[in-house]
Amino acid sequence: MNDHEEHVRAFLAAATLERRDLDRFLDTGEPNWARFDAELGYVPNDSRVVDGHGGATSTYRYGELGERLVINYSDRPCRINSFGDSFTQCHQVSDGETWQEYLAANLGEPIRNFGVGGYGVYQAALRLRRVQPTNIGTEYVILNIFLDDHYRNLDAYRLLRVGSDWWREQRELPVGMFHANPWRHVRFDPSGGLAEQPNPCPTSESLYDLCDTDFLIETFGADPVVQLLVAEQTGDFAFVREHAELAHSLGVEFDTTTGAAMAASARRLYTACAFRSSIEIIESVRSELASRDQQLLILLSYPAGAVADACAGLPRADQDFVRRLDDLGIDYVDGLAAHQRDFEAFSLTPTDYVDRYYCGHYTPAGNHFFAMNVAKSAMIDWLDPRPPAYRNEAGPVDGAASRRHDRPDPVS
């Protein structure tokens, strides 16, 4: 066994869970932010978590369809479903403070929120594929993509990349925050073909295998994401030589002549696989939706650091991805460009600017910005007929007369 293999074993040993972690996650009587799902790893659960802006408690509630609680115009037919990660779910804000609810109030019609914190593009697409072919599928579909979502497509077990230190900090919280367990994911074969991979732990009983270091080594020891994570710790990137054929298939610059060249090649290949996988997933989803006369709109979200960098004039990390969306004629709205335009109206540093909108995720103000400055204009022109608030129609509110009849006279 060489040094790199020893480091991989040590990395996975440090990531081995305790049975109590799974006991709590699987106990339906415990307050948990998420619950187990055989395909997606987990789905959201009703909870109240002290994670909001200024120390606020966020209330997360979900409807019968699995969507975050719809508040505005919940009595009206819904023609928009949204899917994505925590910037879609709107982590760290309460029901009613999501960008979907701000937008719904402005448009005059409901928007369902099927976002789940931690999901990648692939996992969000899987949830979309559950919903859209059913009787709750909508004509208009939003896929909200966050910068890290591309990399999550490739994670077999995202908790390994999040880090065991993070989990140890979360372990004792009053509400169980366990998630990022194994799920379905994608990989590229050496010829450059995208292949869907099953969940390595598809049952609640099999989750306890995560408490077995030998299982982790056997299952994830050769995983390319794990190999890269360990290489970043040790500086030994020799593993990348095994992926020369894939790099050639994807047209990635590949050089293994020096340690620095191998490190650069490994990072380029990882990034290329991440963004390429998202493009292929989006193309597939768009085609599936079109076969049912359903339309797709991509909304692009970004972390505070990426927004601050863009406002400081630094290049964006996903430029090739955005260019590919343009080449394929995929409809999207660029949240990063919207923030750059907004930043120009202020006399602030980039750091002070993002503090207006972020507390990790968007604050309520950040969600309002996203609703009004990113999504709104696209939605008005996308929906046919236009949203009720933008049809230039005046008159009584539907059902208002019957509601007034049932209401007692006000006391003078």
What tokens were used for 412?
A: 């003078």
pLDDT value at position 170? 85
Q: Is residue 20 part of a domain?
A: no
What pTM did the predictor assign? 0.95
Q: Is residue 202 part of a domain?
A: no
φ/ψ of 207, rounded to 5, equals -60, -30
Q: Is residue 101 part of a domain?
A: yes
Q: Please say if the pLDDT value at position 410 is more than 80.
A: no
* Measured torsion, CA atoms of residues 278, 262, 200, 82, in degrees rounded to the nearest 10: -20
What tokens were used for 235?
A: 């500086």
Q: Is residue 27 part of a domain?
A: no
CATH number at residue 338: 3.40.50.1110
Q: Is residue 150 part of a domain?
A: yes
pLDDT value at position 373? 97
Q: Is the distance from CB of 44 to CB of 60 less than 8 angstroms?
A: yes
Instruction: Give me the number of domains the chain comprises.
Output: 1
Question: pLDDT tens for residues 34-81?
Answer: 999 999 999 999 999 999 999 999 999 999 999 999 999 999 999 999
pLDDT value at position 202? 98
Q: Is residue 405 part of a domain?
A: no
pLDDT value at position 190? 97
Q: Is residue 21 part of a domain?
A: no
Q: Mean pLDDT across the chain, nearest whole number?
A: 95
Confidence of residue 412 (pLDDT cuts 50, 70, 90): very low
- Find the domain containing 244 and state its range: 54-169+223-390
pLDDT value at position 411? 54
Q: Please say if the pLDDT value at position 399 is more than 70.
A: no
Question: pLDDT tens for residues 108-133?
Answer: 999 999 999 999 999 999 999 999 99
Q: Is residue 262 part of a domain?
A: yes
- Distance CA(165)–CA(117), nearest Å, equals 19
Q: What percent of the chain has pLDDT over 90?
A: 91
Question: pLDDT tens for residues 295-319?
Answer: 999 999 999 999 999 999 999 999 9
Confidence of residue 365 (pLDDT cuts 50, 70, 90): very high
